[in-house]
């Protein structure tokens, strides 16, 4: 089934969701809102027991679309911050096991999305991994920062979040950003096998345990979704346009 910019294919009790927004699966408003909708649907579907999330092409997800986001008016900015909080929360708090099959570049919000997954498999192929928000003048919505600080070791978070470093995929595995690396040609097969393994876990107990483990972060996300995110009315500024243009031009 193709749902807008996300393909969903059922493999028995496993749902395989593939981001499909060429060329790099960058997150515009519509894709970001669709991520939230699709994952909320998974959580309400009794026939789905686990999920695999991957990207189409050479990128998992390139983060927010730097060609469009700097042009947003106030209403667009508010809608995008809401969409990001909803999307990251819907994956991070999904009551089902979520396996990330990281097939390629995972940058900025794309890496946050990967970090929302419960188990993260990276393809053994060279690609870049990073949280470049600070380099493009884009502050972190609440949900993005909660995920980054919860899922990354403090030393890794400091490097990636504060200084916007990009690191190689192999280094990301060694740093614990991803749980394991597998041959690129076997990535989906192994991700589905891992999801099948996780699908055997008692559904209710898994959902409750996941909520216990991530309770503080999820509560902060839910509060942000309810309207407390300070970025709702103050997300982007003048420096965002220049910084994003410099990154797109390869000057930073």
- Pair type for strands 2-3 and 128-130: unpaired
Instruction: Please give the Cα distance from 86 to 65 (Å, whole number).
Output: 17
Per residue in 136-195, pLDDT tens? Answer: 888 999 999 999 999 999 999 999 999 999 999 999 999 999 999 999 999 999 999 999
DSSP codes of every residue in 102-166? E-SEEETHHHHHHHTSSEEEEESS--EEE--GGGGT-PPPHHHHHHHHHHS-HHHHIIIIIH--E
The pLDDT assigned to 248 comes to: 63
For residues 222 and 71, the model is more confident at 222
The pLDDT assigned to 178 comes to: 98
Instruction: Please give the Cα distance from 99 to 121 (Å, whole number).
Output: 7
Per residue in 217-241, pLDDT tens? Answer: 999 999 999 998 988 888 887 777 6
Would you place residue 244 in the very low, low, confident or very high pLDDT band (cuts 50, 70, 90)? confident
Q: Is the pLDDT of residue 251 over 60?
A: no
Per residue in 16-41, pLDDT tens? Answer: 999 999 999 999 999 999 999 999 99
For residues 67 and 53, the model is more confident at 53
pTM of this prediction exceeds 0.85: yes
User: 2-186 belongs to which homologous superfamily?
Assistant: 2-enoyl-CoA Hydratase; Chain A, domain 1 (3.90.226.10)
Which residues, including other chains, have CB under 8 Å from residue 117's CB and lie 6 or more apart? 53, 91, 98, 99, 100
Instruction: Please give the Cα distance from 11 to 146 (Å, whole number).
Output: 31
The pLDDT assigned to 15 comes to: 98
Residue 218 has a CB neighbour count (10 Å cut-off) of: 18
Q: Is the pLDDT of residue 246 over 80?
A: no
């Amino acid at each position: 089934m193709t749902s807008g910019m996300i393909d969903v294919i059922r493999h028995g009790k496993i749902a395989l969701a593939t981001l499909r927004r060429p060329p790099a699966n960058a997150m515009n408003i519509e894709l970001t809102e669709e991520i939230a909708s699709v994952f909320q649907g998974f959580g309400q579907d009794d026939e789905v027991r686990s999920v695999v999330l991957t990207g189409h092409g050479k990128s998992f997800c390139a983060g927010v679309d730097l060609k469009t986001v700097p042009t947003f008016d106030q209403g667009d900015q508010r809608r995008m911050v809401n969409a990001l909080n909803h999307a990251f929360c819907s994956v991070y708090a999904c009551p089902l096991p979520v396996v990330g099959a990281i097939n390629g570049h995972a940058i900025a919000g794309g890496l946050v999305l990967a970090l929302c997954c419960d188990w993260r498999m990276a393809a053994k192929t060279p690609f870049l991994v990073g949280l470049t928000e600070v380099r493009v003048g884009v502050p972190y919505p609440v949900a993005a920062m909660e995920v980054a600080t919860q899922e990354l070791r403090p030393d890794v978070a400091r490097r990636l979040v504060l200084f916007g470093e990009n690191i190689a995929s192999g280094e990301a595995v060694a740093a614990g950003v991803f749980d394991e690396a597998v041959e690129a040609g076997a990535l989906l097969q192994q991700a589905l096998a891992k999801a099948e393994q996780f699908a055997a876990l008692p559904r209710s107990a898994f959902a409750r345990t996941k909520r216990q483990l991530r309770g503080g972060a999820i509560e902060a996300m839910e509060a942000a979704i309810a309207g407390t995110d300070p970025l709702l009315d103050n997300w982007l500024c003048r420096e965002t346009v220049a910084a994003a243009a410099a990154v797109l031009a390869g000057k930073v």
